[in-house]
Structure 1
């Protein structure tokens, strides 16, 4: 059975739709999903048949003139098909970016709470922050811009890219099927996030225009 990925306006969701999203047994409750519907423009769903396996609230916009894909909230069901679902949701995001920003380099940003979710950004260049690299200047500036856009700048630390509290209204919720294969340095870096206190890390990367043409193809 093929994976079906569809994007619609988030404002078109009704209570039944929100209940379905919440029933996927992910990290987010109906209240958080309702808030995401207000904060983000697009809702993308991924299904096998009639069964929901993942969804994304996102928006495409420019920050300081730079094209951005902002993933406000994403969740992938803990099933044996989770890797395929994650790829499907990200490919749809790239396709939307290609349609909106042809011939331009694009920033993709999200909030993470674990190392597993970094797999979503494996096709991006210059993923920041990264282990062993000290972000400076414009790299930190992008972190601050995204933290402000996500509404988590109150407790944001520009050096670590971490907001220490009240930062989990939305993030990229994904758990790897093979946690033992995760990069140990990434795990250590992400381990600095005070997840239990509501913390999250702002992570972003770039897709160059020529790469976006390949990533966004259907």
Structure 2
């Protein structure tokens, strides 16, 4: 995990130091706590997301995820398309994982967001489809949320090795908190997922 975080810092420094990435940047850290029914314990993991826009449409992103026994990091280009009342963003990345099966990983994602008004969250439709593959196998998550009020969004979420079920999300300026009660679709066991995201 320490190696993964250190490499993310190196990538972040490289992005930030490049004049072509000076227009816009965003960064967040997300702590996920996943209940494992089989062993009866909660497994924490963290992931980090960095995004820089070089032009109106093109940019780069960096991603890292780590827990006590596994980690990964990669980066790549992204493209943002502007649609009526929203955006669609596409990204592909290459990196590596730190595990007993060390090696290259690749990933791709689609992110979309539309708003019916200019409220920060209310009436916002948001979705993300994310998948990756490497020596230890595939991993993916998909979610959709709708902004019921300024701070409350509800939707659906599925994530490998975690929960598939309803997603209840609370959004604020500097952080986001969400919970997913559901089942592990591979084992059929009941599980839960609590996430806290901090924006910088």
**TM-score of the pair, normalised by structure 1:** 0.31
Which has the higher Rg, Structure 1 or Structure 2? 2
Higher helix share: 1
Higher strand share: 2
